[in-house]
Amino acid sequence: MKIVMLGAPGAGKGTQAKMIAAKYEIPHISSGDIFRMNIKNGTELGKKAKEYMDQGLLVPDELTVDLVIDRLSQDDCKKGCILDGFPRTIPQAEALAAALEARGDRLDYAINVDVPDENIVARMSGRRTCTGCGATYHIIYNPSKTGDTCETCGETLILRDDDKPETVQKRLSVYHEQTQPLIDFYDGQKILKTVDGTQDMNDVFAAIVRILEA
Ligand code: ADP
Ligand code: AMP
Contact 82, 5 (CB under 8 A): yes
* Set 2, 36, 88, 128: catalytic member: 88
Full DSSP string of 37-54: HHHHTT-HHHHHHHHHHT
| pLDDT score, position 59 | 98
Percent residues over pLDDT 70 in the chain: 100
Q: What is the pLDDT of residues 74-105, one digit of tens each?
A: 999 999 999 999 999 999 999 999 999 999 99
Task: Report strand pairing: 2-6 vs 28-30.
Answer: unpaired
Q: What is this structure's pTM?
A: 0.97
| pLDDT score, position 116 | 96
Full DSSP string of 132-176: TT--EEETTTB--TTTTB-TTT-PBEE--GGGSHHHHHHHHHHII
**C-alpha span between 27 and 11 (Å, rounded):** 20
Q: Is the CB of 115 under 6 A from ligand 1?
A: no
| pLDDT score, position 123 | 92
- DSSP label at 74? S
* Set 36, 128, 171, 193: catalytic member: 171
**C-alpha span between 92 and 178 (Å, rounded):** 11
Helices (H) and strands (E) in the chain, counts: 9, 8
**C-alpha span between 149 and 130 (Å, rounded):** 7
| pLDDT score, position 168 | 94
- Site residues for ligand 2, CB cut-off 6 Å: 9, 31-32, 35, 52-53, 57-59, 64, 85-86, 88, 92, 162, 171
Cis? peptide before 60, omega within 30° of 0: no
| pLDDT score, position 3 | 98
Query: What is the H or E stretch that residue 29 is in?
Result: strand 28-30
H-assigned helices in 81-136 = 90-102, 117-125
What is the phi-psi region of residue 112: left when phi exceeds 0, alpha when psi lies from -120 to 50, beta otherwise?
A: beta
| pLDDT score, position 23 | 98
Residue 189 pLDDT level (bands cut at 50, 70, 90): very high
**Nearest CA-CA partner of 136 in 175, 85, 183:** 85
Residue 56 pLDDT level (bands cut at 50, 70, 90): very high
Q: Is the CB of 11 under 6 A from ligand 1?
A: yes
Q: Helix, strand, or coil here: 112?
A: strand
**Nearest CA-CA partner of 127 in 142, 117, 109:** 142
Q: Is the CB of 134 under 6 A from ligand 1?
A: no
Catalytic residue flag (residue 13): yes
Contact 192, 110 (CB under 8 A): yes
Q: What is the pLDDT of residues 128-181, one digit of tens each?
A: 999 999 999 999 999 999 999 999 999 999 999 999 988 999 999 999 999 999
Residue 36 pLDDT level (bands cut at 50, 70, 90): very high
Quick count: other Cβ atoms within 10 Å of Cβ 31? 22
